[in-house]
Chains A and B, each alone.
Chain A
Amino acid sequence: MNNGSTPLIHLENVTKVFLTDEVETHALSGIHLDIRPGEYVSIAGPSGCGKSTLLSILGLLDTPSDGSYSLKGHEVANLSFPDRARIRNREIGFIFQSFNLIGDLTVYENVELPLTYRGTGAQERKNFVTEALERVGMGHRAKHLPSQLSGGQQQRVAVARALAGKPAILLADEPTGNLDSRNGEAVMELLKELHAVGATICMVTHDERFAQHADRTVHLFDGRVVEDRIAA
């Protein structure tokens, strides 16, 4: 699905160094990465290779120590916390390994939450939430609390929440990590369907089987891109 247009995401020489009292850890070193609209990219690699750090920087949850990051052509590497929150809310949809639904909110309210923060009107919010829940097949569970759902269902709700605001990119951090294989496969199928209708997805996984669902796989090792392979 690489349409050859301007990159949605452009990373140039991005590094991330964590400083602790005694140790300086280089989590990412000189990362160059472009993700174009409509691409389905998986970031793979062994534990501790910097996958999640890279995803956090892509999701504006963290800032690079050095280098440049542009999203839809705008430099976002050094934005303030509120600006990053605003862009995160509008342009990025998150799918977490542990679902990260808020237990005291219903399925509907969980999906609605990012739209509320965006200031979307009530009617529009309702339309978006209903559409997103229907899309992941969870419309009938709108009034349930997360605790009343299975793990697979919770992840579907998390996907709906990520989709509802029609973000520029979906970032998935080990989305199958807390699921059994059947539910894991189901979630992967769901992402595939979303990609099929035009969603840009960037997924972190350490599982080669799931990485193969993507069009393109970027392999990290010791904080560096060691392979950037497009699926045949």
Chain B
Amino acid sequence: MVQDLRFAVRQLFKAPGFTVAAVTVLALGLGANAAVFSVVNTLFFAPPAYAKPHEMVQLFSQDKKNPKTYRGFSYPTYLDIREQNTVFSDAMSFNLALIGLGQKGDTPRAFAAIVSSNYFSVLGVPLARGRAFLPEEEMPGRDTPVVIVSYSYWKKHDLDPSMLGSQLLINGRPFTIVGITSKGFVGTMQVLSPEVWLPMSVYDQVANDFESVNKTTIDDRKGTQLHIMGRLKPGMTAATAKPALEGLAANLEKAYPVEQKDQTFIAAPVSRNTVSTNPSAESGLKSIAPLLLGMAVVVLLVACLNLANMLLARGTARRKEIAIRLALGGSRWRIVRQLLTEGFLVALLGGIGGLILGLWSSDLLVGSMRKLMPLDIVWLSGANPAILAATFGFCLLGTLMFAVGPALKISRTTVLTDLKEHAGEDIVRRRWKFLPRNPLVVVQIAFSLALLTAAALFIRGANKAASVDTGLKPGASYVLEVDASLAGYEPKRAQELYENLSARLAALPGVEHASISSIVPFGMFELSRSVQRAGLRPGPDAKPATAAEGLAFEAAWNSVGADYFSAVGLPVVRGRAFTEAEATRPGPKVAIIDEVLAKKLWPDGDALGQRIHYAGENASVAKRDGGAHIGGSADLSEEEKQEETIEIVGIVPGTRHALFEKEPAGGIYLPFARGFQSDVSFFVRFRSLAPGNEAITADLLRRTVRDVDPSIPIISLRTFAQHLDANLDLWLVRAGAALFSILGDLRLVWP
């Protein structure tokens, strides 16, 4: 074997061109596999960042009458469960919130986990520095401004040794850093990590729009803010815990018949990649793993077919050598072993290159995603034993795929012919003349074409998305996103602030229109709401087929300022826009809908002047489709009761709400004062923007915000074109196009 290796090394040096080409092809193929494996392994197979994960379960609150419906827990319910359950050695609760982190001004938005004081002890995770939260820091009403930061956050600050005990601004308010999590700890999810952990006592001060589905205070038993996870007692499983949990739920329902009505508890394994009140939330994500792995295997196959062809071509040149070996008594197996050793050496070199390429590209991918996501993506770059072992396995697999066939073929050489001094073309008579001369080339081309077709589809998708007619004509507009709640503003004060800011922006030189909007089309977030004709509330068993029978329609929801439609270039085709008074002060319940929704609700009539209301939870809703975004049902202010009806005062053209929407789904706009959100964007439309003046204009807008209040964090500031460019859907198709183009070109680059 040593001789085989020695000879193999010599062969590689003898033909550096072949070696470089072969190693490059394999590095690309193996690199794709290493990258995909590192992603799939991290998401689906690597052990979670907490101790004894098999003992951990998440508790779900299920509606007994509507088993598909789940909800979260209130803090008092959590306390009851923690005290009264017989299945957990301990249970903790938490929820996620979006916060503004760091200095005033351009404040980055980050995810925080607001947790019970036993969060880290239940997970069995020690801190790298400092301490966990104290029980008194959990108590509602205490409002203790302490924070534990992630290792990743600490690393971003160069592992500053004085960080512990220092102050960190969260939503403009100083919090004392009391702990730093250990390296690699990402909470209960595998990759998406909170940047900071906050005690439950600050929940009401920190939680904002993102988790405001039920705007109750943390000590309110009607709340559904929290997720509960517990560590099962030894010997207990989710299944064996079921009767005890059902009994506990029944007891709580008896004690709190209103708050706990129809609720039962079930335990299920902790989701690796989501935090949800629904135990089946991850099932969709799991289907990605085989897809990714399948794609990687196809890529490896193409690379291997490519290399197999190169080896066959090289084998022709080595036929005499093989014939000599056979003539001297080398068995066919011995020859095959020699060739496989050479192949494995190439595969190992390709594997090393692939590993470097794979880790680099996955870092690049994660880095690129980080720019779009409001979460800290904790990605432990670098090779770990699992990735090393997998890459070694891929090398073996690759060797089998690309080297065995050629080795068997080359070792079947015709000794007598090849021993002649000028052994040349393969003169073996071809029995199946109708078959292609080299089936490997055919298969290789087929796979390459498949990959290139996928690339073409992605590119077409990207181009289509990039050139899609959004329906908006925002002209030379900037989108300025701010969130006053991150600076500690209450809704009432925030509304006043936004009014002031809107006026100042509108008064800037060159500004044509400026308007507030709670949702920016094609952004990270989307809210939707189901609406139906006013006065129609079919019973729970009714199956309305038309709007006239009470069929509800889900529509994209937005709350906007008086000048919004002018700012985004959307003409009011019938009726009127909102007045300044409607937009800034709660007044008559009015809405503007788009033509799509109008047509759905009144297919044969005129929607203008009609009234609508929000559909109930059990209403029959016509389906719509959408793109990738973080969405949810719009949670409206208390005044927007379901019973109250809204008058349609204007109709605007339909617009897209997601880039890959097949057709506009319909939209409803409310005056901002009736749909207050703390996280808002201002559309600032200039008459014109001189090229090269973008930075100056952006600085002008930034200064305007600071003039109003320097503590207001600017979450993002970019032109509308830049905003579209940063769309997550577009990123996905562009990344896919780039990936498939590179992989498909493997065959073309190294024919």
Provide the residues of chain B in CB contact with A105, threshold 8 Å.
7
Provide the residues of chain A in CB contact with B334, threshold 8 Å.
117
Whether B325 sits at the interface, judged by CB under 8 Å, is yes
Whether B321 sits at the interface, judged by CB under 8 Å, is yes
Whether A64 sits at the interface, judged by CB under 8 Å, is no
Residue of A nearest to B333 (CB): A82
Provide the residues of chain A in CB contact with B327, threshold 8 Å.
59, 61, 88, 94, 100
On chain B, the number of residues with a Cβ less than 8 Å from chain A's Cβ atoms is 23
- A101 vs B421: C-alpha distance when bound (angstroms): 11
**Which of chain A's residues 179-226 have a Cβ closer than 8 Å to chain B?**
none
A104 B328 Cβ-Cβ under 8 A: no
Provide the residues of chain A in CB contact with B10, threshold 8 Å.
104
- A116 vs B421: C-alpha distance when bound (angstroms): 25
Provide the residues of chain B in CB contact with A113, threshold 8 Å.
325, 328, 330
* Distance of A20 from chain B, by nearest CB (Å): 9
A85 B326 Cβ-Cβ under 8 A: yes
- A59 vs B323: C-alpha distance when bound (angstroms): 14
Contact with A along B393-430 (1 / 0, CB 8 A): 00000000000000000000001100111000000010
Whether B329 sits at the interface, judged by CB under 8 Å, is yes
Residue of A nearest to B334 (CB): A117
Interface of chain B, main secondary structure: helix
Residue of B nearest to A87 (CB): B329
Range of interface residues on A (Cβ < 8 Å): 20 to 34
Whether B332 sits at the interface, judged by CB under 8 Å, is yes
B330 A117 Cβ-Cβ under 8 A: yes
- A172 vs B329: C-alpha distance when bound (angstroms): 16
Partner of A56, one of B14, B325, B331, B416: B416
B419 A82 Cβ-Cβ under 8 A: no
Whether A69 sits at the interface, judged by CB under 8 Å, is no
- A94 vs B327: C-alpha distance when bound (angstroms): 8
Residue of A nearest to B330 (CB): A117
Provide the residues of chain B in CB contact with A85, threshold 8 Å.
326, 329-332
Residue of A nearest to B323 (CB): A100
**Which of chain A's residues 67-116 have a Cβ closer than 8 Å to chain B?**
81-82, 85-86, 88-90, 94, 96-98, 100-105, 109, 113-114, 116
B416 A82 Cβ-Cβ under 8 A: no
B329 A88 Cβ-Cβ under 8 A: yes
- A61 vs B414: C-alpha distance when bound (angstroms): 10
- A103 vs B10: C-alpha distance when bound (angstroms): 11
Residue of B nearest to A114 (CB): B328
Whether B372 sits at the interface, judged by CB under 8 Å, is no
B415 A161 Cβ-Cβ under 8 A: no
* Distance of A114 from chain B, by nearest CB (Å): 4
- A136 vs B331: C-alpha distance when bound (angstroms): 27
Residue of B nearest to A178 (CB): B421
* Distance of B331 from chain A, by nearest CB (Å): 5
- A101 vs B419: C-alpha distance when bound (angstroms): 11
Provide the residues of chain A in CB contact with B420, threshold 8 Å.
98
Partner of A81, one of B3, B7, B332: B332
Partner of A100, one of B14, B324, B329: B324
Given contacts A61-B415, A102-B324, A113-B325, contact A86 B331 (CB under 8 A): yes
- A102 vs B7: C-alpha distance when bound (angstroms): 11
Whether B11 sits at the interface, judged by CB under 8 Å, is yes
3 shortest A-B CB distances, which residue pairs? Answer: A89-B329, A98-B421, A114-B328
Q: A85-B332, A100-B327 known; 13 other A-B pairs, CB under 8 Å?
A: A56-B416, A82-B332, A85-B326, A88-B329, A94-B327, A100-B419, A104-B7, A105-B7, A113-B328, A114-B329, A117-B329, A117-B334, A161-B328
- 22 A-B residue pairs with CB within 8 Å: A56-B416, A61-B327, A61-B416, A61-B419, A62-B416, A82-B331, A82-B332, A85-B329, A85-B330, A85-B332, A86-B331, A94-B327, A100-B320, A100-B324, A100-B327, A103-B321, A105-B7, A114-B329, A116-B3, A117-B325, A117-B329, A117-B334
